[in-house]
Chains A and B, each alone.
Chain A
Amino acid sequence: KQEVTQIPAALSVPEGENLVLNCSFTDSAIYNLQWFRQDPGKGLTSLLLIQSSQREQTSGRLNASLDKSSGRSTLYIAASQPGDSATYLCAVRPQVRGGADGLTFGKGTHLIIQP
């Protein structure tokens, strides 16, 4: 059974710092990995999707890497801003026959950027 772990569970840093969120998964047979952002009481916003054949994806101040063989992904946030405060969730889609299955999520990293 796939398990996704996110470290740290919570993080509080001053505005302007660069930071790294970590995600690990136990089964490397994945189709893709997705990073999401969730604001309190709201739904999820997709940030980046990395295909199993890719090593990284970038969007603005965000960069996500994937090392499928070691079961790890990182989300790098550059020049953090108070508006980045949210819970960041990592999710993997397993590589099953037909390629159709739900995502397995970690518990998230609760990020607070201090003004």
Chain B
Amino acid sequence: DTGVSQDPRHKITKRGQNVTFRCDPISEHNRLYWYRQTLGQGPEFLTYFQNEAQLEKSRLLSDRFSAERPKGSFSTLEIQRTEQGDSAMYLCASSLAWRELDTQYFGPGTRLTVL
């Protein structure tokens, strides 16, 4: 299967700990997005990469959050000093930018629970 993959699928951590999530996009896709989804809500945009460049960050992305995409391949999202409010599903998506035909394909998500 060559879809978007995310690791881990589930993460339980204690408040104050750091966590890191990984996303592997579809291989030829040059754009990679991170979203956060809480229960009963639609996903909210966090940040976006085109190749290795991080081009946009939402105001939702506090200083405790950092994302990287070295060499324009996989991406990592790190949350430092986790808080209970960080509990959510973290979704990664990728797309191949071609005018308007950039359908975003989503991974299965990483569910974070902060105790």
Task: Give every chain A residue within 8 A of B40 (Cβ-Cβ).
Answer: 107
> Is B65 on the interface with A (CB-CB < 8 A)?
no
Interface residues of B in 56-110 (CB under 8 A from A): 56, 58, 91, 93, 97, 99-109
B44 and A49 contacting across the interface, CB-CB below 8 Å: no
Task: Give every chain A residue within 8 A of B13 (Cβ-Cβ).
Answer: none
- Given A51-B100, A51-B101, A101–B48 Cβ distance below 8 Å? yes
| A41 to B113 Cα, complex, angstroms | 13
B45 and A44 contacting across the interface, CB-CB below 8 Å: no
Task: Give every chain A residue within 8 A of B41 (Cβ-Cβ).
Answer: 107
Interface residues of A in 23-45 (CB under 8 A from B): 31-32, 34, 36, 41-45
A102 and B58 contacting across the interface, CB-CB below 8 Å: yes
| A93 to B93 Cα, complex, angstroms | 14
| A80 to B40 Cα, complex, angstroms | 23
| Minimum distance in angstroms from A74 CB to a CB of chain B | 17
A contacts with B, residue count (CB < 8 A): 28
The tally of CB-CB contacts under 8 A between chains A and B is 71
Task: Give every chain A residue within 8 A of B31 (Cβ-Cβ).
Answer: 100
A107 and B100 contacting across the interface, CB-CB below 8 Å: no
| A44 to B42 Cα, complex, angstroms | 10
A–B pairs, 18, beta carbons within 8 Å: A32-B102, A34-B104, A41-B111, A43-B107, A44-B106, A45-B106, A46-B104, A49-B103, A51-B100, A100-B48, A100-B50, A100-B55, A100-B56, A101-B48, A103-B45, A103-B104, A106-B42, A107-B42
Chain B residues near A (Cβ < 8 Å): 4, 6, 31, 33, 35, 40-48, 50, 55-56, 58, 91, 93, 97, 99-109, 111
